[in-house]
């Protein structure tokens, strides 16, 4: 009762004969501030007890669930209105929206780095080109633009939007993976991701209402889970580990070349500018221009290093999860009881959802959008 928001009581209004009867439960619910909808078992009359508490519940909105439900349907259509089909359609909706958001975030995040590189080039070119003030002005404008782009394009909000959507999609995928198991879904709960408490309750309710869900044989459940969950994830992690490693290698080579070239150019400009300063009494100005160019170069290099580090991190994580999944897949093939099978599947699901802990902190640190 303490974990419920509302009590619906079918009661004749008479005192309870036995201990912990309906009267005691209704009284207890009212005592802890829960609203009670009392349906008289003889007359059918409906009475609401503690109505102010019911109004408070009605006024409470799950902002995260409203946000997820408000996403584009992406052309998804329901074939049937069964609970399982509703859950699958919701997963497809979340998955497609998250996939649509992710490329935008990655592409937009690279724009400030390119502008910073252009600012470094323009500032350095101003030392040797005619109209040096114009080149330095262009470099400064590009640098200011690079700093303003994340704010103007709302990169932080876009990344948060992607993280919220992807988190919900993966939780829904995990619930569906264990949809036909005999046990209640206990892989992850609102104590881990409180923002998705409403979504988890909705998915659990759909699963409980699924009358077509019959008790599946253990061997059939294992076969489906290994094929539809583990095999797909093994393929995903294997492909993306190779891709992330290739990206990290290419970014590292490009970064090293740029670093070497930037150092050589900065040294040459500094030495050349110093000689010209002595010859033409142009003290300090060329050194300042070199410093501006060098700072822009350092900013560009730092951004490139962050990209390389992120690629390597993803590569290591994909490889680690790939190896763990192979080991757990071998375990599943040998297990013969529901208890042991569910222990391993829960371990698999928790490992696949481990990144949700990182995404949770990202989401929690940004105020949810109110509609």
Residue 307's closest CA among 98, 99, 109? Answer: 109
Same domain, 244 and 341: yes
Same domain, 89 and 36: no
Whether residue 34 is contained in a domain is answered as yes
Lowest mean pLDDT among 140-144, 173-177, 211-215: 211-215
For residue 22, what are the domain limits? 7-60
Whether residue 371 is contained in a domain is answered as no
Structural contact between residues 292 and 123, judged by C-beta atoms closer than 8 angstroms: yes
pLDDT at 175 over 90: yes
Same domain, 56 and 166: no
The number of beta carbons lying within 10 Å of the beta carbon of residue 206 is 18
Which residues are CB-neighbours of 334 under 8 A, at least 6 positions away? none
Same domain, 262 and 317: yes
SS3 36: strand
Whether residue 304 is contained in a domain is answered as yes
Same domain, 54 and 123: no
Same domain, 154 and 276: yes
Q: What digits encode the pLDDT tens for the residues 115-138?
A: 777 777 776 666 666 666 677 777
Q: How many domains does the chain contain in total?
A: 2
The number of beta carbons lying within 10 Å of the beta carbon of residue 111 is 15
Same domain, 172 and 282: yes
Same domain, 55 and 117: no
Same domain, 36 and 87: no
Whether residue 258 is contained in a domain is answered as yes
Residue 98's closest CA among 177, 156, 153, 163? Answer: 163
Same domain, 218 and 315: yes
Cβ contacts of 38-45, under 8 Å, gap ≥ 24: 38/9, 38/11, 39/8, 39/9, 39/10, 39/11, 40/11, 40/12, 40/13, 41/10, 41/11, 41/12, 42/12
pLDDT at 367 over 50: no
Q: What digits encode the pLDDT tens for the residues 205-233?
A: 888 878 777 778 899 999 999 999 999 99
pLDDT reported for residue 236? 87
Whether residue 66 is contained in a domain is answered as no
Same domain, 56 and 161: no
Give the pair of three-digit tokens for residue 13: 């209004």
pLDDT reported for residue 209? 79
Residue 366's closest CA among 115, 154, 185? Answer: 154
Same domain, 33 and 123: no
């Amino acid at each position: 009762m303490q974990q419920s928001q509302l009590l619906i009581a079918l009661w004749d209004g008479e005192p309870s004969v036995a201990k912990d009867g309906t009267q005691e439960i209704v009284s207890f619910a009212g005592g802890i501030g829960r609203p009670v909808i009392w349906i008289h078992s003889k007359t059918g009359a409906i009475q609401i007890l503690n109505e102010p508490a019911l109004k408070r519940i009605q006024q409470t909105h799950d902002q995260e669930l409203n946000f997820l439900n408000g996403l584009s349907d992406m052309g998804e259509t329901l074939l049937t209105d069964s609970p399982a089909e509703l859950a699958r359609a919701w997963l497809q909706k979340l998955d497609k929206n998250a996939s649509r958001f992710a490329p935008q975030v990655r592409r937009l995040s690279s724009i400030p780095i390119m502008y910073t590189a252009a600012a470094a080039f323009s500032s350095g070119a101003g030392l040797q080109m005619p109209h040096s003030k114009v080149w330095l002005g262009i470099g400064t404008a590009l640098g200011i633009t690079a700093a303003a782009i994340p704010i103007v394009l709302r990169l932080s909000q876009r990344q948060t939007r992607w993280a919220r959507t992807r988190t919900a999609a993966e939780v829904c995928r995990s619930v569906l993976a264990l949809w036909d198991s005999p046990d209640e879904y206990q892989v992850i709960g609102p104590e881990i991701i409180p923002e998705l408490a409403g979504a988890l309750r909705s998915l659990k309710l759909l699963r409980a209402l699924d009358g077509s869900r019959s008790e599946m044989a253990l061997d059939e459940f294992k076969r489906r889970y290994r094929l539809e969950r583990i095999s797909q994830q093994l393929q995903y992690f294997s492909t993306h580990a190779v891709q992330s490693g290739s990206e990290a290698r290419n970014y590292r080579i490009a970064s090293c070349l740029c670093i070497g070239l930037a150092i050589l150019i900065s040294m040459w400009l500094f030495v050349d500018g110093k000689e010209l300063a002595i010859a033409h009494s142009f003290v300090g100005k060329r050194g300042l221009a070199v410093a501006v160019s060098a700072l822009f170069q350092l900013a560009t290099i730092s951004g490139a290093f962050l990209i390389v580090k992120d690629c390597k991190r993803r590569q290591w994580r994909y490889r680690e999860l790939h190896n763990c999944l192979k080991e757990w897949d071998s375990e599943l093939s040998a297990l013969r009881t529901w208890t042991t099978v569910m222990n391993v599947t829960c371990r698999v699901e928790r490992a696949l959802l481990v990144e949700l802990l990182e995404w949770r902190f990202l989401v929690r640190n940004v105020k949810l959008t109110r509609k």
